[in-house]
Amino acid sequence: MFGCRNVAMRTCKHEDMNIISVLSQKGGAGKTTLVVHLAVAASLDGKSTAVIDLDAQANAAEWGDSRDLDEPAVTSAQAARLPKILEAAKDAEADLVIIDTPARSESTALAAAKCADLVLIPCRPSVFDLQAIRMTAD
């Protein structure tokens, strides 16, 4: 599905399921907003979609709790549990998993990036956000 996949780097391989990780070391970059919008769009397109919220603030999980719909499925987890949660999503036949990560958490971002087919780094048009891209990419 995604042309920029580097399978050799992935540590959580799931051939029948695409994984997108959204990360930025800067808070307020729009990670959670992007995650929930992508998840709803994929669900509306008929994809079985799951969101994994790795952020302790759990905004995506709270958003999921506030909805009357079952899709997209949203779960809150810690990065150490990511392989198990992804395995459960695969067993539930998810087509797409979107991972929301916290700001200022290099280990969580790295775990999410290693599992991803595609990494998105949202950025607002400001010098501070552009500097955060460099920190996140490193």
Give me the domain span that covers residue 58: 7-137
Task: Give the predicted TM-score (pTM) of the model.
Answer: 0.82
Q: How many CA atoms lie within 13 A of 125 on its CB side?
A: 0
**What pLDDT is recorded for position 6?**
43
**What pLDDT is recorded for position 137?**
64
Q: Is residue 2 part of a domain?
A: no
Q: How many CA atoms lie within 13 A of 95 on its CB side?
A: 14
**What pLDDT is recorded for position 16?**
84
Q: Is residue 1 part of a domain?
A: no
Q: Is residue 83 part of a domain?
A: yes
Per-residue pLDDT for the chain (138 aa), expressed as one digit of tens each?
Answer: 333 344 344 456 667 899 999 987 767 778 899 999 999 999 999 999 999 999 888 999 999 999 998 889 999 999 999 999 999 999 999 999 999 998 877 888 889 989 999 999 887 777 776 776 666 666
The CATH number of whichever domain residue 111 belongs to comes to 3.40.50.300
**What pLDDT is recorded for position 1?**
31
Helix (H, G, I), strand (E, B) or coil at 96: strand
- Domain tally, the chain: 1
Residue (of 53, 115, 99) closest to 78 by Cα position: 53
Q: Is residue 35 part of a domain?
A: yes
DSSP for 44-83, please give it: HTT--EEEEE--TT-HHHHHHHH-S---SEEEE--GGGHH
